[in-house]
Chain A
Amino acid sequence: MLFYTVRRLLLLIPVFLVVSIVIFLIIHLVPGDPIDNLVRVGSTPEQKAEITARYGLDRPLVEQYLIWLSQLAQGDLGTAIVMRRPVADLIAQNLPYSLTLGGLALLFSTVLGIAAGVIAAMNKEGRIDRTVMTGVLFGSTMPSFWLGLILILVFAVQLRWFPVSGARSWESLVLPVLTIGLGGMALVARVTRIAMLETAGKDFVLLLHAKGLPARRIQLRHVLRHALLPVVTILGLRIGWVLGGAVTVEYVFARPGLGMLLIKALSQHDYPVVQACLLMLAMAVMLGTLLGDLIQAAMDPRVRSALT
Chain B
Amino acid sequence: MALLDVQDLSIDIAGIKPLDAIGFTVDKGETLGIVGESGSGKSLTALSIMGLLPLIGGRVERGTIAFDGMELTRLPEPDYRRLRGRRIAFITQNPMTSLDPVIRVGEQIDQVARLHLGLSGSAARRHSIEIMERLRIPEAATTWHNYPHQLSGGMKQRIVIAMALAANPDLIIADEPTTALDVTIQAQIVQILGELVREKGVALILITHDMGVVAQACDRVVVLYAGRVAESNTVSAIFASPRHPYTQALIGCIPRNAMERGSLVGIPGLVPSVARYPAGCRFHPRCTRSESLCEREVPVLERLASGAEIACHVADKREASHA
A interface residues, Cβ below 8 angstroms from B: 202-204, 206-214, 222, 225-226, 299-302, 305
Contacts and interface: CB of A to CB of B under 8 A. Distances in A.
Contacts of A210: 50, 52, 84-85, 89-90, 92
Interface of B: 50, 52, 55, 81-86, 89-90, 92-94, 97-103, 111-112, 115-116, 147, 149-150, 160, 163
A102 B115 CA distance: 42
Contacts, number: 72
30 contacts: A202-B97, A203-B94, A204-B99, A204-B101, A206-B52, A206-B98, A207-B160, A208-B100, A209-B50, A209-B52, A210-B84, A210-B85, A211-B115, A212-B82, A212-B83, A212-B85, A213-B85, A213-B111, A222-B100, A222-B103, A300-B101, A300-B102, A301-B147, A301-B149, A302-B102, A302-B147, A302-B149, A305-B147, A305-B149, A305-B150
Contact of A212 (B93, B101, B115, B147): B115
B111 A211 contact: yes
Given A203-B97, A226-B102, A302-B147, 20 more contacts: A203-B93, A203-B94, A204-B98, A206-B52, A206-B55, A206-B98, A207-B99, A208-B100, A209-B50, A209-B55, A209-B84, A210-B50, A211-B115, A212-B81, A212-B85, A213-B115, A300-B102, A301-B147, A302-B149, A305-B150
Contacts of B97: 202-204
B105 to A, nearest CB: 11
A212 B84 contact: yes
A212 B147 CA distance: 22
Contacts of A299: 102
A213 B84 CA distance: 8
A12 to B, nearest CB: 28
7 residue pairs, one from A and one from B, having the closest CB atoms: A212-B85, A210-B90, A211-B85, A212-B84, A203-B97, A301-B147, A204-B100
A222 B100 CA distance: 8
A213 B167 CA distance: 13
B195 to A, nearest CB: 22
Nearest to B82: A212
A242 B90 CA distance: 47
Contacts of A305: 147, 149-150
B146 to A, nearest CB: 9
Contacts of A302: 101-102, 147, 149
Nearest to B88: A210
Nearest to A304: B147
A211 B52 contact: no
B9 to A, nearest CB: 18
Contacts of B83: 212
A302 B101 CA distance: 8
Contacts of B147: 301-302, 305
B82 to A, nearest CB: 6
A119 to B, nearest CB: 20
Contacts of A225: 102
Contact of A203 (B52, B92, B115, B150): B92
